Amino acid sequence: MNRPLRHIAIFCGLLMLALLIRANWLQFVKAEELANDDKNRRVQIKQFATPRGDIVVGGASVTGSAEVDGAEFKFKRTYKNGPMYAPVTGYASQTMGMSLLEKTYDGVLSGQDDRLAFQRFTDIITGKERRGGDVITTIDPRAQEAGYKGLTDLGARGSVVALDPRTGKVLALVSTPSYDPGSFAGNTFKEGDTFQALDDNKGKPMANRALRETFPPGSTFKILTAAAALEHGVVTDIDAASDAVSPYPLPQSTNEVGSEAGNAVCNKASLKTAMQYSCNNVFLDAAVELGQDRMRETAEKFGFNEDVYSDVFGDLRATASLYPQDLDKPGTALTGMGQGSLTSTPMQMAMVTAALVNDGKLMQPYIVDELRSPDLSTLEKNEPQVMSEPVSSGTAAKVREMMEHTAKEGSAQKALIDGITVGGKTGTAQRGVDVNDQVPYGWFVSYGKKSDGASVAVAVFIDPTDMDISREDISGGSLGGPIARNVMKAVLEQ
């Protein structure tokens, strides 16, 4: 063989070797990844070849499947009370993919989960159609409805989160404005246009405000500042007068911060009085005395600065709430009243409240109680897990005492319920560089507790951008208090 032919033969041999290596790589190493890729048409066809299992709330399915005419997709997803439950279920669309629980538990819902292999085998033998399993949520339908109705009646962008402090179960997860996942569940051009219109809507109906967006928490953060001050010994007596003058001079600054309750009430007020009237000066001073490291340490024990839900929530993972690094003294002071560069999700503030109700023990939030196979046997069941212990039971009891006093005598009175112990804290959070340029956010956190120990923690967030309301009328207590009250009643008065 002459030299040129030999070179060509070697080159062709190398090409064949590369082809064999690539083929084996795809077949054995990448096979599972490619088989489950969302863009794999065969995967999509299989997902909608049979009726999907259901997502269950309060013992009833909030999803279904409808048979459709189509060469490839035989069934499409349907939803009951779609807008109310969309922040929980997400969507399963033949063209737009999936989100939230629909995506996280697609294997179970479509019947393709490895744990259902024996079920699939027996279905083939008996000639039955492949069946999907069910996802049983922790959501309380009455609480979800109370939160959703409260926000939609206001016409507000916002969120409501309710937790069982003793277990971490998510009892309500509301985000408004919302959308109907069934409106684009198929694969027609009209449904594609519907999805695009929702995605382009300035009100962001497809945003999950409970988990995926952060906002300055305003005065609701004062319950964490109070907990930090007590835990670290900066305050030992909640009834003792403080040294914090009102208006409060920011460190290293010529600026002063006042309080809506007025200087006469807030000047050198005790921590308990400051909580009752939401006196900024006392909490600013407490944050300065604590310093940024101890403030951040306490915030992180409550879940700030960490994406803490990934193991349990899967695709419902919440955006990390932020207690910033490298703050100066003025910046640290402002975090004491929930302003500055501090941000939080509604879920995070519900967690803070829940931990204080649960004697300082923070339980890992979870929204799926159980996964069931088509024959109703349990595939997996979630169990309560302790996430952290941010503060001692003594500290938690003192903060609850102040929150209950605030509900009885202060700005949280609209959350009171006869026969139930209620604690609460209002919040009005300024936003933007020029605080007068945009309307502030309204916040409300509260808890209700019965004599038998049953309890619920609630966080309400309200963005009044779309509401016909003046700045003077925006108050977490007046707007969020009644919503929180109705959610707590829904849970505790059953």
User: What amino acid positions are annotated as catalytic residues?
Assistant: 219
3-state secondary structure of 317: coil
By the 10 Å C-beta count (0-12 exposed, 13-18 middle, 19+ buried), 328 is classed as exposed
3-state helix, strand, coil in the chain (%, to 5): 45, 20, 40
Burial group, residue 285, by CB count within 10 angstroms (0-12, 13-18, 19+): buried
Residue 474 CA to residue 461 CA, distance in Å, equals 12
Cα distances (Å, whole numbers) of residue 479 to 343, 377, 379, 462: 21, 44, 42, 8
Bridge-based pairing of strands 60-61 and 368-372 is unpaired
- Amino acid in position 415: A
Supply the DSSP string of 182-224, one letter for each residue.
Answer: GGGSS-SHHHHHHHHHHHH-TT-TT--TTTS--B--GGGGHHH
Residue 144 token pair: 């979800």
DSSP letters for 11-74: HHHHHHHHHHHHHHIIIIISHHHHHT-TT-HHHHHHHTSS----EEETTEESEEEEE---SS--
Helices 393-409 and 222-231 cross at an angle (nearest 10°) of 140
Phi, psi of 99 (to 5 degrees): -150, 165
The H or E element containing residue 93 is strand 92-93
Nearest Cα to Cα of residue 460 among 224, 208, 174, 212: 174
DSSP 382: -
**Helix H or strand E encompassing 448:** strand 441-449
